């Protein structure tokens, strides 16, 4: 499941998103990128290179090609999927200089939209900061990962709404809070007490930005500093609970909310006969088939190998781990490690489906929605690769049967052996695209006659084209 494409450096990614403001940088488009990002169809790894890699990439014959950092800030531009495809396929129509001018002009527009006023009255400045914090707080309460809107739907539309609000409101608000204090710090006597408080907030804002936009998730990122909000409010004379009190109340709220929703979903599950809470993090789940599972429930944002080790230090007898927040996730390596240890690692929805099964089908359970998403992704890749006439394409194997898979097994069926050259070209393009998005493909070929006699050990052969 590895992806060999080089990752964009985190600081470069931050600058790129700040410059694009979430909009396509083609001046004739300017389409919002937020919806695409929230649905997972655009990530920082899909940023367009003005001068492509290698000797055959778009505009790779430009005189600067040998001298620039291809993954550096100056050579990257954020485009929507349509414009990205357009500038790569019609590279002669879009010169390096033109695309660089798009980027510079767009960045100027974004700066003008979010221009920061010169404020010399501290109360006026802090009042604007407080208003932005209040807006973020309201969104978190109503749409956040521990809201009834998200937990009640196991993710779904509620989770998409939360992601969108992160992108179109919370991230810009965070940037504006930092800029208001940073740009006005010289209007107040040095040392200005507000400034170091903001720096603590900035650490959180940067980590939150990375978790929202960059495919480099971390678990122990800096959480929202309650002390910053408390400081702003007390300077304005607004009553606020002490930071340690607010933090404890937040933890209790999250625990109670998650517990309520998990019990609601699992208590009505037809495969479960009884739930028994052992302590704040662990419960026994008795199944109708006679199994009893000791289940650890975590609200960790990103469950990693490190987190797994900490859980097993506390209770090495855990049978399953549920990542309870729909906004959270676990790493591929941790899922693989749990499978090897015989421990189930699931999101709540996955656990509810997995307990109908045993053995590998339980440990490596794949939701139908995830399977459908993989099939849809491959279908799009096949069509982009321009399959020759008379070709059929099938998938089979672990890719569409298990959460953690090996190779992506592809079968190309043809009825015209004379078109061997075109089929080989199609295979090369197809494998390159699959490798970039999903991992290493393993391609087999069969004539229509051979295909008719084909028998598979696991008969999950699924046609993806035509």
What pLDDT score does 102 carry?
A: 92
Report the DSSP beta bridge partners of residue 286: 274, 292
**Nearest Cα to Cα of residue 443 among 389, 385, 402, 370:** 385
Burial level of 268, CB count in 10 A (0-12/13-18/19+)? exposed
What pLDDT score does 186 carry?
A: 96
Structure tokens of 35? 């919806």
What pLDDT score does 245 carry?
A: 92
The helix (run of H) or strand (run of E) holding residue 409 is strand 408-414
What pLDDT score does 45 carry?
A: 39
Averaged pLDDT, groups of 10, the chain, 466 residues long: 54 78 85 53 61 82 84 88 86 90 83 81 98 96 84 68 84 91 96 95 88 64 87 96 89 81 87 92 94 92 90 94 85 95 95 96 95 92 89 93 93 79 90 90 91 77 93
Return the number of other C-beta atoms located less than 10 Å from residue 447's C-beta.
12
CA dihedral defined by 191, 194, 195, 199, rounded to 10 degrees?
140
What pLDDT score does 436 carry?
A: 83
**Nearest Cα to Cα of residue 269 among 254, 282, 285, 257:** 285
pTM, whole model, 2 decimals? 0.72
Contacts of 234 (CB under 8 A, 6+ apart): 240
Distance CA 445, CA 49 (A): 34
Q: Are 301 and 327 in contact (CB under 8 A)?
A: yes
Strands, DSSP E only, in 278-343? 282-287, 292-298, 302-303, 320-323, 329-330
What pLDDT score does 113 carry?
A: 63
- Is the link from the previous residue into 466 a cis peptide, with omega within 30 of 0? yes
What pLDDT score does 4 carry?
A: 42
**What are the Cα distances from residue 177, in Å, to 174, 180, 236, 345?**
5, 5, 16, 38
């Amino acid at each position: 499941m590895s992806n060999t494409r080089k990752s964009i450096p985190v600081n470069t990614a931050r600058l790129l998103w700040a410059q694009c403001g979430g909009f396509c940088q083609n001046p004739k488009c300017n389409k919002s990128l937020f919806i695409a990002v929230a649905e997972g169809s655009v990530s920082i790894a899909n940023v367009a290179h003005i001068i492509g890699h290698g000797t055959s990439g778009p505009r790779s014959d430009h005189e600067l090609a040998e001298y620039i950092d291809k993954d550096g800030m100056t050579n990257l531009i954020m485009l929507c999927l349509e414009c990205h495809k357009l500038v790569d396929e019609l590279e002669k129509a879009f010169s390096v200089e033109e695309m660089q001018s798009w980027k510079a002009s767009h960045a100027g527009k974004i700066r003008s939209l979010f221009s920061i006023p010169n404020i010399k009255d501290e109360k006026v400045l802090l009042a604007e900061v407080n208003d932005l914090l209040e807006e973020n707080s309201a969104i978190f309460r109503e749409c956040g990962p521990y809201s009834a809107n998200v937990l009640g739907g196991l993710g779904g539309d509620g989770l998409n709404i939360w992601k969108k609000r992160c992108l179109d409101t919370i991230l810009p608000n965070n940037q504006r809070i930092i800029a208001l204090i940073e740009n006005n710090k010289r209007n107040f006597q040095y040392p200005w007490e507000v400034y170091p408080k903001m720096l603590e907030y900035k650490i959180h804002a940067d980590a939150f930005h990375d978790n929202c936009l960059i495919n480099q998730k971390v678990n122990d990122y800096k959480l929202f500093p309650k002390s910053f909000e408390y400081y702003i409010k007390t300077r304005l004379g607004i009553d606020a609970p002490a930071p340690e009190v607010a933090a404890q109340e937040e933890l209790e709220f999250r625990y109670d909310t998650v517990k309520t929703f998990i019990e609601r979903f699992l208590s009505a599950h037809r495969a479960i006969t009884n739930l028994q809470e052992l302590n704040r993090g662990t419960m026994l789940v008795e199944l109708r088939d006679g199994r009893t599972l000791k289940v650890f429930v975590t609200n960790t944002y990103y469950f990693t190998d490190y987190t797994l080790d900490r859980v097993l230090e506390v209770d090495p007898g855990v049978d399953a781990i549920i990542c309870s927040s729909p906004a959270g996730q676990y790493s591929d390596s941790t899922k693989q490690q749990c499978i090897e240890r015989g421990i189930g690692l699931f999101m709540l929805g996955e656990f509810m489906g997995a307990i109908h099964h045993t053995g590998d089908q339980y440990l490596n359970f794949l939701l139908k929605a995830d399977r459908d998403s993989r099939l849809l992704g491959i279908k799009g890749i096949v069509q982009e690769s321009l399959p020759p006439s008379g070709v059929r394409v099938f998938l089979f194997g672990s890719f569409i049967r298990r959460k953690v898979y090996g190779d992506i097994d592809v079968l190309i069926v043809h009825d015209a052996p004379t078109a061997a050259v075109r089929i080989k070209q199609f295979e090369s393009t197809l494998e390159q695209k699959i490798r970039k998005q999903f991992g290493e493909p393993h391609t087999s070929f069969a004539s229509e006659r051979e295909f008719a006699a084909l028998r598979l050990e696991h008969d999950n052969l699924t046609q993806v084209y035509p």
